[in-house]
Amino acid sequence: MWPDTRLSELLGIEHPIIAAPMAGASTPALAAAASNAGGLGSLGCALMDEETVRGTLGETLRLTKRPVNANFFVHKPPERDSAKDERARARLRPYYEELDLGEVPAVAPSHFPFDRKMLAAVLETGPQVVSFHFGLPDDDIMAALKAAGRTVLSSATTVREAEILQRRGADAIIAQGYEAGGHRGFFASSEVQAQVGTMALVPQIVDAVSVPVIAAGGIADGRGIAAAFALGASGVQIGTAFLSTDEAAIAPAYRSALRGAGEEDTRLTRSFSGRPARGLVNRYMEEMAAHENDLPDFPLMNPLTGPLRKAGAERGSPDFMSLWSGQAVRLNREMPAGDLFRSLIAQAQDAMKR
């Protein structure tokens, strides 16, 4: 049925299609729908503490008996710069006043590290696949994951990053092209201007590594899936298309913004988290564009923008929300996740028969 079965065999799934993690938008119902349809569902755990990870993963694994992927961020500890912190807080003050949100909070860490405790939560709760963004955890944690029989994935935005991930033990590599929504996964390259489109990136990574390659970025229907296999990928990861499914946990204003969006409407921005991520342009992104290289390191910006995003969502305004989206957003369709998954498979099969 698929021209390459290396990834499906590695993951123990029928269809080599991964519904992307999407921290904040993924839900147990969304992940389970993808896994139950024969693919790999994912939970974005980057913003969760250990107890929430246990609860959310546990709930997912009650909804499906199939493999599930838990995704974590493994960024370097941020450099602190209190002058920069204060400049960022001052820049956000007018927005806090406009939205009547009181004082801008202090700059502080917001993501939970993937440490021994988090490792225990994952191993005890039981997802079969663990994926990472911004690299891989330390060698001892990698060894523990492997010893526990987990399959480990991570994202590469360049050939060099793919080679590093393979050397450090990734079982498969997500080739994340420039088109992808959300955070760019780079960790060894940092030149945003050098980020590579999916069409160019996938074959170059396929040539460089021996593990299966998963294409991501700009893939939103069966044509993109078929194209990814033609490029030599063993599977795909699809995010944005699943944001418009019933099971995605996104605010109505976000859902509505996706509905009207086209390929010209996304940009990379550092202004929400401190790291470049792709989302639909809104007022906050436009107004902060001039300052985005003078913000606290990722993820220190998150607690500063959190109240703005929340207030925007509550008021039904997209102005201050992080509207992560890839460049193929025009192809989104609103339907239940399982239906979307089955439609993607049918479309891909059709496209491959041509």
- State in angstroms the smallest separation of the CB of 189 from a second copy: 6
Segment contacting a second copy (CB under 8 A): 118-126, 157-165, 241-249, 252-260? 157-165
Q: Which of 116, 259, 330, 333 contacts a second copy by CB under 8 A? A: 330
Q: Under a CB-based contact definition with an 8 Å cutoff, are residues 330 and 240 in contact? A: no
Amino acid at 319: D
- Report DSSP state, residue 104: P
Q: How far is CA 104 from the centre of its chain?
A: 27
Residue 154 near a second copy by CB under 8 A: no
Segment contacting a second copy (CB under 8 A): 7-15, 77-85, 200-208, 333-341? 200-208
Residue 226 near a second copy by CB under 8 A: yes
State which residue, 144 or 208, has the beta carbon closest to a second copy. Answer: 208
Q: 283: which 2 tokens?
A: 């007022």
Residue 239 near a second copy by CB under 8 A: no
* Chain residues 111-140 in contact with a second copy, contact rule CB under 8 A: none
Q: Which of 17, 118, 209, 231 contacts a second copy by CB under 8 A? A: 231
Q: Which residues of 7-41 are buried (b: 16+ CB within 10 A; e: fewer)?
A: bbebbebbbbbbbbbbbbbbbbbbbbbbbbbbbbb
- State in angstroms the smallest separation of the CB of 318 from a second copy: 17
Segment contacting a second copy (CB under 8 A): 48-56, 70-78, 86-94, 327-335? 327-335
- State in angstroms the smallest separation of the CB of 160 from a second copy: 7
- State in angstroms the smallest separation of the CB of 332 from a second copy: 11
Amino acid at 341: F
Q: How many CA atoms lie within 13 A of 195 on its CB side?
A: 22
- State in angstroms the smallest separation of the CB of 197 from a second copy: 4
Phi and psi angles of residue 238, each rounded to the nearest 5 degrees, phi first: -120, 125
Amino acid at 18: I
> Checking DSSP bridges between strand 68-73 and strand 182-183, what pairing results, if any?
unpaired
Reduced to 3 states (helix: H, G, I; strand: E, B; else coil), residue 119 is helix
State which residue, 76 or 330, has the beta carbon closest to a second copy. Answer: 330
Beta bridge partner(s), residue 155:
174
Q: Which of 47, 101, 249, 268 contacts a second copy by CB under 8 A? A: 268
What is the per-residue DSSP string for 166-233?
HHTT-SEEEEE-TT--EE---SS---GGG---HHHHHHHHHHH-SS-EEEESS--SHHHHHHHHHTT-
- State in angstroms the smallest separation of the CB of 37 from a second copy: 22
- State in angstroms the smallest separation of the CB of 271 from a second copy: 13
Contact code string over 164-193 relative to a second copy, x by CB under 8 A: -------------xxx---------x-x-x
Q: Which residues bind a second copy (CB under 8 A)?
A: 3-4, 158-160, 177-179, 189, 191, 193-194, 196-201, 203-204, 207, 217-221, 223-224, 226-232, 262-268, 326-328, 330-331, 351-352, 354
